[in-house]
Amino acid sequence: MRRRRGHDTAAPATPLAICRVAVHALEMTGAGISVMTTSGHRGTICSTDRVAAVIEDLQFTLGDGPCVDAFHHGPVMIDDLDDYDHVKRSAWPQFTQQASAAGARALLAVPLQIGAIRVGVMDVYRDRPGGLTDARLAVALTLADAAAGSLLADRHGRAIDAPLDPREPGATYHAEVHQATGMLSVRLGIDIEDAFVRLRAYAFANERMVNEVARDIVSGKLRFVDEDGGQR
């Protein structure tokens, strides 16, 4: 959900709005989004209904589930939570049983990421068994991209790829952020908007303030040198 300069000035869709679109487009029953980092589940951002809220809360409480696996390894699809063989083989049988008891029968968990940096997971459930077609899985992945962008929008609702203007009244970004963004743009060979996405996503994933990361980039303490925004 990128914003075009000089054309569309609408704020990016909220995570909850994207969850509702996912429910409709994928013909599921409900959805939720949780923020995660490499240090673990950080909490629920939104859920469309009670069962979706239970699914997110279970994974936060138990510290495991499809959400956690999806964050580390990629999309997870469970066609039938009541399948005995699946439950017996599952790495998270307690979650599977409790989610099923709450009313979920099928579940898709998709990581939310910018490049290779993951910031959370979107869980979409159905109250009856059944998987997704390849076409609908592709839609889910597209919506996950939009949700990642929505999570990283600033508190004024500005899209993560919006041009930075230090003269903007009430701007929360210091000059170091603009300087660091320019440095990343040159170093990685990408445009300013994408460089800011990388900077903000790195800060989010590492639980740091954007201007702190920018300061480290400007001072040379942190170098983004590869395609996925990694450091050396």
pLDDT value for 39: 67
The secondary structure of residue 226, as a DSSP letter, is: S
Which amino acid is present at 72? H
Which residues of the chain does CATH 3.30.450.40 include?
A: 15-151
- Can you tell me whether residue 178 is helix, strand or coil? helix
Contact yes or no for 229/115 (Cβ under 8 A)? yes
> Which CATH number is 15-151's, of 1.20.58.220, 3.30.450.40, 2.60.40.10, 3.40.50.720?
3.30.450.40
Q: For residue range 129-172, list pLDDT tens digits in order.
A: 999 999 999 999 999 999 988 887 644 444 444 444 444 433 43
CA 9 to CA 93: how far, in whole Å? 46
User: Is residue 42 predicted with pLDDT exceeding 90?
Assistant: no
CA 30 to CA 53: how far, in whole Å? 9
Q: Is the dihedral of CA 212, 216, 222, 228 positive or negative?
A: positive
Cα–Cα nearest to 86, from 114, 106, 109: 106
Q: Is the dihedral of CA 145, 151, 154, 155 positive or negative?
A: positive
